[in-house]
Structure 1
């Protein structure tokens, strides 16, 4: 194996990737064009559906006696009528509620308060190896490994994902 051979293979890979990127870019452009074409119709359909929903709600509200027994009915795949409303729990200050739970319901605190605690990798990456050891974290060096990673745009990230899925399909 020579460096020239690797350079030629790298060029072949880069060329194949460029073709793939161009095809994905064309697809993305076409999807954007289609979205623009259809968006006006979708917005109109949303407005129409919202208006019909408001009309239906008003009709149901004017005829509650129609839904005494049974409370709901299904027409055209849509369930309409009345049902018992579900309440909501509201509070302004989560920390205050947690403090009051701990004070007034200490036995239930574990079931009423969600506690999430885990180390943050981003912060740990800023520590020295000695500091990591002191807090029980091991820094594992992976050694050298092959890198084939273009420095590209969002479209290229999609191309990478497509390549990865193609490789997984070949492996299976």
Structure 2
């Protein structure tokens, strides 16, 4: 009876490990296949519900927009059935026509902040410019857009939205696999 060598022992253990790992991979693939089957079956219903939610959202948006008097004063939004609804001041969007001109004006008016307001590729940094006042933005050739009231419809629990988004992405992935 011959003794097994250390390398033979390692080979045997490696084979056992590889076998266990293959079985695990097979189980995970079975689970993924079942998830794909369930997703494929549920996709039409999910798409229908997404369409219905979008329609309900549009109807709610129209009604909120049609009743601006409800959103004046202190209480601009309310939470009803877990959904925040009402009006909120728009965050605004910084815009410019000529990025090179904005860079020149930043260097002239705010030389000490130029490194944080200008990208190396000589382009204004929108997020950093958001820290400037409207008057300062005007001095460097920018204007602030979309600051008027905007409708707010935001569920306070976005877990459902995340799940629906993931399911739709999975459905698209499955459809692409079936086409390929």
Aligned length: 116
1:47-66 to 2 correspondences below 5 Å: 47-66=51-70
Q: Which residue of 1 aligns with 2:77?
A: 72
Structure possessing the higher radius of gyration over alpha carbons: 1
What's the RMSD between the two structures over aligned residues? 2.5
Q: Mark the runs of 5 or more structure 2 residues left unpaired by the alignment.
A: 121-180
Higher strand share: 2
* 1:111 is aligned to 2:116: yes
Distance 1:36 1:99, change over 3 A: farther
The normalised TM-score by structure 1 is: 0.57
Deviations 1:9-51 (A, max 9, x none): 2211111111111111111111111111222221111111111
Once residues 97 and 46 of structure 2 are traced to their aligned partners in structure 1, the CA distance between those partners, rounded to angstroms, is 37
Higher normalized contact order (CA 8 Å, seq sep 6+, divided by chain length)? 2
* 1:82 is aligned to 2:92: no
Q: Aligned match of 1:12 in 16, 21, 26?
A: 16
CA drift of 1:94 comes to 5.6
